[in-house]
A and B are shown apart, each in its own frame.
Chain A
Amino acid sequence: MSSSKSVGLREKAAKFLSDQVYLPYVGPISIWILLFVFAPLGVVLYFSFLRVGPFGQILNSFTLEHYRLMLKPTYIQVFMRTFVFSFGTNIICLLIGYPLAYFIVRCGGKWKTFLMFLVIVPSWTCYLIRLYALKTLTGNGGLINEALLNLGLISSPLNILYTPFAVVLGLVFGFLPFMVLPIYASLEGLDPSLLEASEDLGATPLKRFFTVTLPLTKGGILAGTILVFIPSLGEWLVPMLLGGAKVMMAGNLIEEQYIKLGNIPAGSSIAVVLTTIVVLIIYLSVKMGGEEVLERMM
């Protein structure tokens, strides 16, 4: 399905380029991308190499000191944590999201659209408000602790807030719909006769899932991963509200440099490193067979 289509796409692209009829089409979008993607990135990249003066002013001279800063163990630790949290968030979203999407597609019947609506509805509320709600729920005097205390299940409030658990919970809470949606779409697009054929050829329901359903919805999983893992890497609001100073992520480092310390070049260098890593991950996942996914997303 994918291979012949992508070959066709490539041929079409080659013809498109050689005919030079693309100019009127790519003109406006190129200007848009140049202005709003590459220009800001260029500015950030430029600033990241600039020296900072004694009064915090930006001096127009070249330095690599901000990049050197990143070799500090605390910075490396925060970066590692960012990866572990994002990866963990992605895995948890997948483990919750796939069965959820599967259930909605298989058992939803006429309620399918409504159930998907329920999945999406929370993301219509302001992200900040939802995070504060979560903060209230998980805090020492929050609903969860109060309930557990009153039920006599625990004797002192659980420490949930300002722990890695709270941060990952917040990330999963925020990004789950973005995992469910593409998986739902790929499950919906799965030809039911393939499932019947699999059963007919002797596959038990479990075997059928692993030999047909899962491989054919790989695209949805990859798309979901791109939508969950990558934004998690740059997330700063969740760790700030739910992790406090104890559980920082890379985004918080940038925020700290830009806003609290006013050190734009140092913040820019962290942003450059993070962006480079993200671009690398996208490139690798596309290389590893995500081409089909991108095609679908476009």
Chain B
Amino acid sequence: MTNKNSAPCVELRGVVKKFSGLVAVDHVDLKVEQGKVFSLLGPSGCGKTTTLRLVAGLEMLDEGDILIDGEVINDVPAYNRDCSTVFQTLALFPHMTVEGNIAYGLERRKVDKAEIKVRIGEMVELMGLGGMEKRHPAQLSGGQRQRVALARSLVLRPKILLLDEPLASLDRKLRKEMQVELKRIQREVGITFLYVTHDQKVALSISDIIAVMANGKLEQIGSARDIYETPKTKLIADFMGASNIFPGKARDKAGKNVEIETESGLKIIALKGKDKDGNSKEITGVSVHPELIGISHKGTDVKVGNKFEGKIVEMIYQGDFIETKVVIGRTGEQITANLGSEFGQETQFSPGEEVVVYWNPASSNILLG
């Protein structure tokens, strides 16, 4: 470990990558701090994987600089970069045993045999792969293969570990387990992770910092909580699962609240404090996460800033909640609320019923242009 703690582990400065004229990565600037899990989150085709491959050296950039530990590495070939990638397909060498796979990078770095043995031993223990050393990848389960791929990269003690949707091929239960496992391993070894994923749930649970990408550009960087609760744009809000997005214009900015009016005339109140950028950008709408919206029977006296009367049009059972769609009577907007089943709420309502939907102004998130 070097003592350049002042420099970020990885830094991208105005990085541009084009594929036959099409811009895949468009002037991306970001800094990944030492020892953190940094996620690049975005829909497929947003340039997140290309960004990762640029850091790995598997693609060469067209403009800008990439720095690892404060040193520009633009022209350093992949095999000389101090980073290691866990591929989406895992890319384990099928003709080598687990041991052979883990030793591969060390052998290329000319680490001596005894040292390789010790380090493989450590990795096998860390990953819980004991007894599998002589097996070939084809003889392993999906989760075990995952661990081998991780071990193969981690054993090199790279400055940064690049992970390209490594959990995408696992089933839901295994994915959850591996998520926890990844976090544990990261804490234990203290290596910086750059994690690429399109799965917002994985990103939220694993990351210290999330950067949302769209169309090759960075849209927003922040903690998991920031990104989830206060997405800045309509696109991010949509991507983070805020199914209630209302484009509109700010009407009344006096006082501590902002009133935003949608095109159809629905007036939604939001807290001004949530508008972090001050008033530098124009307000273009409001988003609300469905789990923050409550439903009451018609006529109930609800003392909350935002309340609208409507009619339930659909109730979809989702297991841990009921996705309930309500159409606002006056303006025709559709609002989705997730009703938890813990209080037996779903039995109180039925489709077609007249209800009141409500949420706290603090739950309204202001979207900017």
| Chain A residues packing against B (C-beta within 8 Å) | 1-5, 191, 193-194, 196-204, 207, 211-212, 215-216
Contact = CB atoms under 8 A, between A and B. Distances in A.
Contact of A199 (B79, B95, B152): B79
Contacts of A201: 79, 84, 104-105, 108, 152-153, 156
Nearest to B137: A1
A204 B58 contact: no
Task: In the A-B complex, list the 9 residue pairs whose CB atoms are closest, starting with the nearest.
Answer: A201-B105, A202-B108, A197-B91, A193-B91, A1-B94, A199-B78, A4-B138, A200-B85, A193-B89
Contacts of B156: 201-202
18 contacts: A1-B136, A2-B138, A5-B138, A191-B89, A191-B91, A194-B94, A197-B92, A197-B93, A198-B93, A199-B58, A200-B56, A201-B104, A201-B153, A202-B79, A204-B79, A207-B108, A216-B93, A216-B94
A140 B137 CA distance: 59
A211 B104 contact: yes
A199 B87 CA distance: 12
A204 B347 CA distance: 65
Interface of B: 56-58, 77-80, 84-85, 87, 89, 91-95, 104-105, 108-109, 136-139, 152-153, 156
A200 B58 CA distance: 8
A1 B78 contact: no
A216 B136 CA distance: 14
A3 B108 contact: no
B95 A215 contact: yes
A3 B105 CA distance: 25
A216 B95 contact: yes
A201 B77 CA distance: 11
B139 A4 contact: yes
A194 B93 contact: yes
A220 to B, nearest CB: 13
A203 B80 CA distance: 9
A196 B58 contact: yes
A40 to B, nearest CB: 40
Given A3-B138, A211-B104, 18 more contacts: A1-B138, A4-B138, A196-B78, A197-B87, A197-B92, A198-B104, A199-B78, A200-B56, A200-B58, A201-B79, A201-B105, A201-B108, A202-B79, A203-B104, A204-B79, A212-B93, A215-B95, A216-B94
A178 to B, nearest CB: 24
Contacts of B105: 201-202
Contacts of B108: 201-204, 207
B78 A200 contact: yes
For chain A, what secondary structure do more than half of its interface residues adopt (helix, strand, loop), or is it mixed?
helix
Contacts of B109: 202
Contacts of B93: 194, 197-198, 212, 216
Contacts of A216: 93-95
Nearest to A196: B58
Contacts of B95: 1, 215-216
Contacts of B153: 201
Contacts of A203: 79, 104, 108
A200 B84 contact: yes
Contacts of A2: 138
A215 B105 CA distance: 17
Contact of A196 (B87, B137, B139): B87
Contacts of A194: 91, 93-94
A4 B138 CA distance: 7
Nearest to A200: B85
Contacts of A1: 94-95, 136-138
B12 to A, nearest CB: 18
A189 to B, nearest CB: 11
A195 to B, nearest CB: 9
A191 B88 CA distance: 13
A197 B138 contact: no
A59 B211 CA distance: 91
Contact of B136 (A3, A193, A200): A3
Contacts of B104: 198, 201, 203, 211
A211 B96 CA distance: 10
B140 to A, nearest CB: 10
A261 B152 CA distance: 67
Contacts of A212: 93
Contact of B79 (A4, A5, A200, A215): A200
Most buried by A among B56, B89, B92, B93: B93
B69 to A, nearest CB: 17
Contacts of B137: 1
A204 B93 CA distance: 16
A212 B78 CA distance: 16
Nearest to B83: A200
A211 B105 CA distance: 11
A84 to B, nearest CB: 32
Nearest to B162: A200
A197 B78 CA distance: 10
Contacts of B138: 1-5
B195 to A, nearest CB: 16
Contacts of A204: 79, 108
Most buried by B among A5, A202, A212: A202
Most buried by A among B79, B85, B89, B153: B79
Contacts of A211: 104
A193 B87 contact: yes
Nearest to A5: B138
A194 B85 CA distance: 12
Contacts of A196: 58, 78, 85, 87, 91
A288 to B, nearest CB: 15
A204 B108 CA distance: 8
B139 A3 contact: yes
A198 B91 CA distance: 9
A196 B105 CA distance: 13
A252 to B, nearest CB: 41
A204 B109 CA distance: 10
Nearest to A207: B108
A197 B89 CA distance: 10
